[in-house]
Structure 1
Amino acid sequence: MKRKERNPIIVLSVLFFLILLCFFVSLNLGYIGLGPLDVVKTIFGAGTDQQQLILFEFRLPRMVLALLIGAGLAIAGAVLQGITQNDLADPGIIGINTGAGLAVVLFIFFFQGSITSLNTLSIFVMPFAALIGGSLAALLIYLLAWKDGISPMRLILVGIGINAALGAVLIVFQLKMNPDDFMQATIWLSGSIWGADWRYVLTIIPWVVLLIPLAIIRATKLNALTLGDDVATGIGVAVERERRILLAISVALAGSCVAVGGGIAFLGLVAPHIARKIIGVNHQLMLPATALIGALLLLIADTIGRNVLGSSEIPVGLVVSAIGGLYFIYLLIKVNRKK
């Protein structure tokens, strides 16, 4: 039975409305609760000093960060799945996130000496360090996977191996940190936007605002690549050139998001799959839907992590991994059944 086509404008509008709804609900929730009326009054400048502090200095920056990081990682995953022609591709699975995280830890270890000594300039430099680390990881994966071209399955398998190797190196440098920095690095690498402020928002905005539209602009090329290298070449697409450009966009998005949000895995795997199910495989429509779904999922995960244990907090990356891990197992079972 043919699936009924959904109106993309309606789908995108519903997703945007859900983000607004979740955003408002999340503003009300936390260790110190704020009622809906208090939130509205505070937004318009009529709240108390305490309410303004809670809303504008603690909740709003991390919620905006959740939206930006969610959208960025989701698009990175969608692009990676498109260029590898593999539905199981994700920056957190094949080593790009780990490479970016390792570069940030090395930057802190050698140039800062301590995570607590990070200043504003260092925070703005971290995405560039993450970009270098993610790019080197991607280059290493690309070179090792190359054999008369790139096989999607070989790229995934090599990426998983590189991810494990970089993870081991990362642990070595973590163990050389002092106990306080070790704990902070561990929490951050598990995926945490705790303690975020507006400096981190300003750090990631240029990357997300520039790279997501760039990925959407190249959606037609991505559509061609998903048809296979032979077909894409036949219709005039420079396959390897486009693959490298799109891979660079994916790496830059993943690296910048890791720099401020830590190692949030599986989001780039789950969001594109949901988008394809509700809006189709055309990347010109699927990529905007993916960005909205990624933002929504991470905002929900952050809200759950902040509130499920009361005064304690669960890193958002663990909440996403709990959801994404189950979905990953489902995909593996689905792939095996098709075989």
Structure 2
Amino acid sequence: MDSGPEGPCCELVAQERSGHTAVVVENRLYVWGGYMSVGEEEVFLPNYEIWVYDLERGIWDVFNMTGELPPPMSGTCGCSLDGDMYIFGGCDYSGQTNQLTDIYWGWNNEVHTFDPMNASWRQPETHGCAPAPRAAHASSILGCRGYICGGRIMETRRSDIYCLDLESWTWSEIVPVSAGPEGRSWHTLTAVSDSSLFLFGGLRVDCKPMSDGWLLDVETKKWREVDHNFKNKPRLWHTACPCKDSDVIVFGGSCDYILRVDTGHCNDTLIFQMQPHPLFRICKDFIAKNVKKHEMLRSQLTLLPPSLLTAVQSRMYFYRPSNKQTN
């Protein structure tokens, strides 16, 4: 890859931005696109640059890309599969995307892939009925299939689901056989099993932030609303990541419609339990959560095997009293 210019004295750091796409491949974070504010204007970042953060060394670098470059965009969705980055959709103010719908907005429904090994972009030819051009949608991957859900299309917000077979590059729409979530944008979609996707939050068509969670079984095509403990914590433009035991961790985002009231940024972490935990974790969590309340637990804690004692003590820190301010 051809590295971009670097100052002789200052350490290279990625430009600030929002609405970008980022994926982790092996030990590197790849960041592309998005926009930044310059004075009163929103400026889209160059489409020919990709920023790479070495997670081991803690060093940023920027490279100039070749191939079939996507246009400069914000609001795209990205996923990683077999070392490549896949992006879909997005928009920009200059109308340089593949769907110019009015004088201000360009909306996109193209698929682009980035190969880090060859430092090049490619736009595969897709087949079938592609989703309508959109931005601020959500995406996830199950096996060799990518899924797109909802997003903003002009002044509407959708909850439709499309599947892209990443081997045949064929689109198909999933038509649910049950009631499901209402249309939204700026939500998240997270794989929690081999056949299930978890949707959380987003912004409704009337610009109301949402806090509901839904589980989609892609085999039965049924939605099911998930009961959880965070109904009072609406989120949009947040992140959601799968973690151990099929939990989903949501971080950051906003609890307000940030284009109107830019004061609701959040820094708390919401953990959603999507399936029963293993017995070992249940026991470890019970001890860690209750050891300070019960003398018997405290007195017998040191009798645990060293490795188990270390695990419990580490978990005790998770249940410590916190004075953090959250939104």
Normalising TM by the smaller chain, what interval?
Answer: under 0.3
Q: TM-score, normalised by structure 2?
A: 0.24
Structure in which a larger fraction of residues adopt strand: 2
| Max Rg structure | 2
Higher RCO (CA-CA < 8 Å; seq separation 6+): 1
Q: TM-score, normalised by structure 1?
A: 0.24
